[in-house]
Amino acid sequence: MTEKKKTADRTKKTAYTRKTEAKLEEAQGKLAVVKAKIKGAVADGQIEAVELLQKTEAKADSQLAKVKRRLERLKAAGDDSWEELKDGTESAWEELSESLKKIADRLSVKKKP
């Protein structure tokens, strides 16, 4: 592999890693907001969401950890092999995003009119 190609791969890897880290931080923030809304709704008596909160925390925390593990593996990968791990990272990210969306949807449905 030429030095120019190595530099290009390293640049792509760095950019992808930074973008994924930013998305992860954003997801953590969204999850914190969702958890706060559920706790507020429980306190207001709008929904009976203790079970929803527990499921939300367990599933989302697990998925966040999965994305973090994948990201760490990607960071540790060589400049020429990191793209092989990219699909798994994207898949874990999509699962987390979908889960957060479902949680938010369930929360808006569970509220009493």
pTM of the model: 0.67
Q: Which two tokens stand for residue 32?
A: 């914190």
Q: Identify the CA nearest to 16 among candidates 98, 100, 85.
A: 85
What's the rounded Cα separation, in Å, for the pair 47 and 75?
A: 42
What's the rounded Cα separation, in Å, for the pair 51 and 62?
A: 16
Torsion sign, CA atoms 44, 50, 51, 55: positive
Per-residue model confidence as pLDDT tens for the chain (113 residues): 688 877 887 888 899 999 999 998 998 888 888 778 777 777 766 666 667 667 777 888 888 888 889 889 988 888 778 888 888 888 888 988 888 887 777 766 554 44
